[in-house]
Amino acid sequence: MSFEVLAAAKVNLRLEILGRGADGFHELETPMLALALGDIVTAEASEEPGVSLSVDGEHAVGVPEDQNNLAHRAAAALLEGRSEGVSLKLSKRVPAGAGLGGGSADAAAALVATRAALGMEEDEAQDVEILSALGSDTVFFRKAASGHALCAGRGERVSPLAPVGDWSLMLITPQAHASTKAVYGAFTLEQAAALPPAVSFEGMGALEAREHLGNHLEAPALGLFPELAAWREALDDAGIEHARLTGSGASFFALFDSPAEAQAALDEALDCARALPAPRLACVTTPAGGVSIPL
């Protein structure tokens, strides 16, 4: 039996760095939102024990098919000590190094798909333990039932929230690959710009939500990667000043009341950036309404 899951991408609606913990990691607080855009993870029971993984799709180039892939590692951890095997297929529709959480979402979706394909019982606690060992934001993609949650600590402390309003989102991912390590390394709390006050985005309309977007990592990312700074200028020229970087980059997102408004803004942004390299991703999407969604 095979089972297919949408590994929903995410954006950070607001990302505030609070300081650095004793373990050396930055402490943050960020409401995250899952998107209808995502990779597709398919799991099928295999006669061979263990995990096999194949990758295809428009953003598959350079994505590993072995234990270096988070989806492979998650499924392998789930099956450790068991005789079952699973064949995973990952269709990459989300670019890597984009700040959209593609790899982390794939890991959570691989657990959901593997359990379903092999007839295993649900065990959120075990899944969270596996995902926590793989990365800071992976737990969001397992626990945020509505696709909206407040994440704290390194991102591993997830408090699910009610859904946001009926939004449309414009997404642009430039060619630049933003290094998370480099962006965090360039951040200093002393030089960080003030963010809008923290609010609950639950049920909020897109126009009101715009006023509360913010990201402490945007300024260091723009300073490190000239192409991101050029896109920031193009977005401002297009009248989309509220657009924000998600995560440590490299994607920008903006909020609108309708798909038509979001598409018009995207067209204007691309026109203003016509002298720049074409982006890896340019699309309009909506909130997913969940994470690791069975298809």
pLDDT digits (tens, 9 = 90+) for 77-132: 999 999 999 999 999 999 998 999 999 999 999 999 999 999 999 999 999 999 99
**Are the CB atoms for 107 and 141 separated by under 8 Å?**
yes
**Are the CB atoms for 90 and 103 separated by under 8 Å?**
no
Active-site residue among 106, 137, 236, 237? 137
**Are the CB atoms for 269 and 240 separated by under 8 Å?**
yes
Q: What top-level class would CATH report for the domain 168-285?
A: alpha beta
Q: How many CA atoms lie within 13 A of 81 on its CB side?
A: 2
The yes-or-no answer on residue 143 being catalytic is no
Query: Where does CATH 3.30.230.10 sit in the chain?
Result: 2-159+289-294
Q: How far apart are CA 207 and CA 255, in angstroms?
A: 7
How does strand 168-173 pair with strand 252-256?
A: antiparallel
Q: How far apart are CA 152 and CA 288, in angstroms?
A: 21
Is the predicted pLDDT of residue 178 greater than 90, yes or no? no
Q: What top-level class would CATH report for the domain 2-159+289-294?
A: alpha beta
The yes-or-no answer on residue 257 being catalytic is no
The reported pTM is 0.95
Is the predicted pLDDT of residue 191 greater than 90, yes or no? no
DSSP label at residue 287:
B
Active-site residue among 10, 89, 92, 143? 10
Is the predicted pLDDT of residue 276 greater than 80, yes or no? yes
Query: Where does CATH 3.30.70.890 sit in the chain?
Result: 168-285
pLDDT digits (tens, 9 = 90+) for 36-70: 999 999 999 999 999 999 999 999 999 999 999 99
